[in-house]
Structure 1
Amino acid sequence: MTDLSSTLFDLVVVGGGINGAGIARDAAGRGLKVLLVEREDLAQHTSSASTKLIHGGLRYLENFEFSLVRKALAERETLLNAAPHITWPLRFVMPHDDAIRSRWLVRAGLFFYDHLARRDRLPASEMLDLSKHPAGSALQAQWQHAFEYSDAWVDDARLVVLNCVDAAERGATVLTRTACTRALRGEDGWQIGLRDDAGIETTLHARALINATGPWVASFLRDTGQRPRHRVRLVRGSHIVVPRLFAHDKAYLFQNPDRRIVFAIPYERDFTLIGTTETTHATEASAVHISAEETDYLCATASRFFREPVTPEQVRWSFSGLRPLLDDEHAALSRNTRDYLLELDGEDAPLLSVFGGKITTYRKLAEEAVGRIQNLLGHHAPDWTARAPLPGGDMADADFARFRNSLSQQHRSMPEALIDRLAHAYGTRCRHILGGAAGSAALGEEILPGLFEREVDYLIAHEWARTATDILWRRSKLGLHLQANATQLLDAWLEARALNPRS
């Protein structure tokens, strides 16, 4: 660990999920001296276990959360422009079941969804005749009508990493595999203890502290001697990934008789992602896993709509995460708000804690959080993130297709699948990996099919990757496409290269 004991930080952010990463980026860009500390890898928990959507939250309209939906819809456009390589428009097909929601109610909801916020890049909703539309071919014959509307897709884990990359390039210090072991408030700031994964400890000082620990927000407050004024409701959301169920590029939204919804989304070219469940979780566990009951629920929902049944035996991968919903005391999880609340404590040594939130509104949350903190620190810099691309997103007119085609022309000897993956993952920064390479042989050793030495070196040097799991399941989803022992093979390679000090 770098010796930081003599450094006075304006702001220490604890938590390397999407909210912490967004706050660190925003604050660094305003000229504050920032440290972000994460006890494990970036996006290791909640922020890599989402349904991968940037969306307004169509069903939140039923709870009359118009303000949240408007805010999320506006952010949808902002993120599409800021990161066209890891976000892209997606059309959703919602088969209509009049027994659950009447046609007029769905039409009214979609009208509001289309018009609550400015919509420049996404087409409006429409009715579909499934007997004539390609989306109907994968569904059972009983589903005759559907509504189609727009939202967007995001690579959630990469969104976190790119925010941290930008934060670091603007002067922030980012420490992963480093735990915050204590935080003591003094008259003029905070004394903060850190311990890295090698057991090395250090103490540093900060003028302000931000608690962006997600599911652990309340326990972190208690550890610092504070009494939380709000609570989070821990909800386990689980997803399954199965071989591709349909050939087109649209997603489905399925309405269940229990009034919950499940998405079926094209995923990683060869697969379909199905989720999510909502199950109350009692403990702040670091690792959570899908239950057999959740798998059965998702398979049964998909089978209710698709012509071909979906069974647990088809599941190639599953993932689960704890969503820390701001507890608004609604009995039904489906009616619990997905909005966030910022709890600010103290002025001389401020502590700001983040309760709730969703990935779509992370940038707005960060903007609000930093605005409140900087005022207490006597710092006054304007908002800036709404107009700034994320690393790799600086392509003309946010036109990914044009950028991708240009890249392919420049590297004609490269496999198209490799060019496509690198373009989506790194955007314009894939040139740091490709350089002037005429063919894939120039990228160094092919460690695993489609994974070359130069990319691994880049991930370690610039994106805090340390282990095979970091590389194959968070910085990418290559693990889905490789043999079962790929993680072990890559860890062995890293150990041999002395790139994985914890092997």
Structure 2
Amino acid sequence: MTQGSRYDLLVVGGGINGAGIARDAAGRGLSVLLCEQHDLAAHTSSCSTKLIHGGLRYLEYREFGLVRKALQERETLLRAAPHIMWPLRFVMPHMPDLRPAWLIRAGLFLYDHLARRELLPGSRGIDMRRHPAGAPLVESIKRGFVYSDGWVDDARLVVLNALDAQEHGATILTRTKLIGAVRAGGEWHAQLQQEDGSVLDVRAGAIANAAGPWVGELLHGPLGRGAHHSVRLVKGSHIVVPKLFDHDHAYIFQNPDKRIIFAIPYEHDFTLIGTTDIEYHGDPAEVSITPDEIQYLCDSINRYFRRQIAPRDVSWTYSGVRPLLEDENADNPSAVTRDYRLELDAPAGEAPLLSVFGGKITTFRKLAEEAVDELTRALQKNAPAWTAARAPLPGGDIVGANFKRFLAQFQQQYSWLPAALAHRYARAYGTRAPKVIGTARSLDDLGQTFTPGLYEAELRYLRDVEWARSSKDVLWRRSKLGLHVEAGTLERVAGEIDAWFAREPASQHA
């Protein structure tokens, strides 16, 4: 790109909503520029509970429209990226003192039937004394329920949306911040500051403000606008501990304070536990878990599992700030709606500005579709929606969405890869995995080893194709290999990766 380049749409924000909007718009033929002040999915969109779900607990708050919309999206998304998303069965132990069984059965019946299901089985009651999921739990739990939702690698979902946007013609600029924008002559004149301090001047027919926790700050600052809606910042924190069970089901636990806590199989060797809901007033980029949150999550789990955990058992933590749509009627952060609002500012003869308030990862595709519908109308462009049909994300064009069969074929094709590495490549990159491997015919051909399972060939791919620029991008967002680095060596491994990026800098995508 060059100074003064013009685009139909400038998208500000490289989280799931911004990447989704960029993909949808580029696929409709609009010229699109996306800028993100940090890395893709650097904040909220890599800090979720990593579920594609309708939100069973939102039925309790009578959010029927939101739950139905999210349930409708589950199978669309599962078909679009079966390598990074897959069905997951959830076990809900019955605690008679918290909710009666009839109420849970009624909620699950509604959850099963609010939207059509083709891939996911329905719910049922189980005897915990006979079901494998009962074995790790305290003896007093005799019965429970099982239902379906989905799992997603959230950070990779963002990257794949950005990659698909680029392959449809969009320009993606990471580590590039919008510092000013004014309307003039029926278009936006915007200034973008890059990591080296240089400023790009660009023009755009419209702007989509998808800055997540910074949506209001962006409006009142660089964009100089007001808004009818606002967001409420709620911190969600998670802990990761060595695995507490060996089966492939997840758990959803009801706490006495009416909060819901998940315990999910994670990265083969771990259990992911979360989340908390706490009002947050600080810088979204500086959010972190507190000792009280860690203890709360440990206590919540210890209510149910035979094996007790303590803060000393925690292998890793992460926290994110969710920009929830402000709800004056909800005092409890857990009750704040997870729905979204799109606010279009389009005075006659002026360039449109669309701002995104709220949302959840499961509904990102629908949000993006609705956002681009509004923008194309404002821009007077005839560009029909396309992502609801069979529109796989990069690597997701797996025949019949059958990952198991694809994995077997991939392992046969690259029989020299260790099974664990072949599985990780197939999961992370799907049908694009051969591009990571390139012409390699042995592990030695993959280049320098940074930590077991991470080779130079993959770093090169992540740099050249997926905008990775640092060890954090690689170890904690594009993968979760940081969890598997040998104890005491993480700092050294990260330093070697950062040194490699310094020696082998990438040219900016354009």
In the alignment, structure 1 residue 295 sits paired with structure 2 residue 294: yes
Q: How far apart are 1:494 and its partner, in Å?
A: 2.6
In the alignment, structure 1 residue 460 sits paired with structure 2 residue 467: no
Q: Does the C-alpha gap of structure 1 residues 205 and 500 become closer, same or farther in structure 2, counting only changes over 3 Å?
A: closer
Alignment match, 1:255: 254
In the alignment, structure 1 residue 121 sits paired with structure 2 residue 128: no
Alignment match, 2:346: 346
Alignment match, 1:386: 388
Q: How far apart are 1:182 and its partner, in Å?
A: 0.4
Contact kept? 1:303, 1:309, Cα under 8 Å = yes
Amino acid at match of 2:240: V
Contact kept? 2:284, 2:320, Cα under 8 Å = no
Give distance in 2, aligned partners of 1:311 and 1:177.
38
Contact kept? 2:12, 2:35, Cα under 8 Å = yes
Report the RMSD for the aligned CA atoms in angstroms.
1.2
Q: Does the C-alpha gap of structure 1 residues 372 and 498 become closer, same or farther in structure 2, counting only changes over 3 Å?
A: closer
Helix, strand or coil for the counterpart of 2:135?
helix
Alpha-carbon displacement from aligned partner over 1:292-317 (angstroms, at most 9, x marks no partner): 11000000001110001111001010
Give distance in 2, aligned partners of 1:285 and 1:127.
41
Helix, strand or coil for the counterpart of 2:408?
helix
Give distance in 1, aligned partners of 2:46 and 2:334.
21
Give distance in 2, aligned partners of 1:346 and 1:497.
44
Helix, strand or coil for the counterpart of 1:305?
coil
Alignment match, 2:211: 213
Task: Return the match for 1:369 from 368, 371, 375.
Answer: 371
Amino acid at match of 1:171: G
Task: Return the match for 1:440 from 428, 434, 443.
Answer: 443
Q: How far apart are 1:411 and its partner, in Å?
A: 1.1
Where structure 2 has 5 or more consecutive residues not aligned to the other structure, the ranges are: none
Helix, strand or coil for the counterpart of 2:286?
coil
Helix, strand or coil for the counterpart of 1:131?
coil
Helix, strand or coil for the counterpart of 1:74?
helix
Give distance in 1, aligned partners of 2:335 and 2:216.
22
Q: How far apart are 1:64 and its partner, in Å?
A: 1.2
% identical aligned pairs: 57
Give distance in 1, aligned partners of 2:499 and 2:5.
37
In the alignment, structure 1 residue 70 sits paired with structure 2 residue 33: no
Alignment match, 1:238: 237
Give distance in 1, aligned partners of 2:384 and 2:41.
28
Give distance in 2, aligned partners of 1:428 and 1:482.
26
Give distance in 1, aligned partners of 2:286 and 2:155.
16
Alignment match, 2:497: 490
Give distance in 1, aligned partners of 2:229 and 2:210.
14
Q: How far apart are 1:495 and its partner, in Å?
A: 2.6
Amino acid at match of 1:365: L
Contact kept? 1:447, 1:453, Cα under 8 Å = yes
Helix, strand or coil for the counterpart of 1:248?
coil
Q: How far apart are 1:70 and its partner, in Å?
A: 0.7
Give distance in 1, aligned partners of 2:231 and 2:253.
27
Query: Counterparts in 2 of 1:276-315, with a 5 A limit?
Result: 276-315=275-314
Helix, strand or coil for the counterpart of 2:97?
coil
Amino acid at match of 1:261: I
Task: Return the match for 1:416 from 415, 419, 444.
Answer: 419
Give distance in 1, aligned partners of 2:137 and 2:131.
11
Q: How far apart are 1:500 and its partner, in Å?
A: 10
Task: Return the match for 1:357 from 346, 355, 359.
Answer: 359
Alignment match, 2:40: 42
Contact kept? 2:89, 2:249, Cα under 8 Å = yes
Q: How far apart are 1:496 and its partner, in Å?
A: 3.6
Contact kept? 2:259, 2:334, Cα under 8 Å = yes
Q: How many residue pairs align between the two structures? A: 499
Q: Does the C-alpha gap of structure 1 residues 500 and 312 become closer, same or farther in structure 2, counting only changes over 3 Å?
A: farther
Where structure 1 has 5 or more consecutive residues not aligned to the other structure, the ranges are: none
Give distance in 2, aligned partners of 1:413 and 1:423.
14
Alignment match, 2:324: 325
Alignment match, 1:267: 266
Q: Does the C-alpha gap of structure 1 residues 499 and 34 become closer, same or farther in structure 2, counting only changes over 3 Å?
A: closer
Give distance in 2, aligned partners of 1:497 and 1:36.
24
Alpha-carbon displacement from aligned partner over 1:128-158 (angstroms, at most 9, x marks no partner): 1111111011000011111100000000000
Give distance in 2, aligned partners of 1:436 and 1:37.
33
Give distance in 2, aligned partners of 1:28 and 1:499.
24
Contact kept? 1:411, 1:439, Cα under 8 Å = no
Alignment match, 1:395: 398
Alpha-carbon displacement from aligned partner over 1:170-222 (angstroms, at most 9, x marks no partner): 00000000110001122411110011010111211111011000011111111
Helix, strand or coil for the counterpart of 1:277?
coil
Alignment match, 2:144: 146
Give distance in 1, aligned partners of 2:147 and 2:494.
38
Query: Counterparts in 2 of 1:2-17, with a 5 A limit?
Result: 2-3=1-2, 5-17=3-15
Query: Counterparts in 2 of 1:8-27, with a 5 A limit?
Result: 8-27=6-25
Helix, strand or coil for the counterpart of 1:138?
coil
Contact kept? 1:288, 1:320, Cα under 8 Å = yes
Amino acid at match of 2:331: A
Q: How far apart are 1:436 and its partner, in Å?
A: 4.9
Give distance in 2, aligned partners of 1:500 and 1:6.
20
Q: How far apart are 1:498 and its partner, in Å?
A: 4.6
Q: How far apart are 1:283 and its partner, in Å?
A: 2.7
**TM-score computed with the length of structure 1 as normaliser:** 0.97
Give distance in 2, aligned partners of 1:295 and 1:13.
36
In the alignment, structure 1 residue 102 sits paired with structure 2 residue 100: yes
Alpha-carbon displacement from aligned partner over 1:39-70 (angstroms, at most 9, x marks no partner): 00000000000000000000111111111111
**TM-score computed with the length of structure 2 as normaliser:** 0.96
Give distance in 1, aligned partners of 2:408 and 2:438.
17
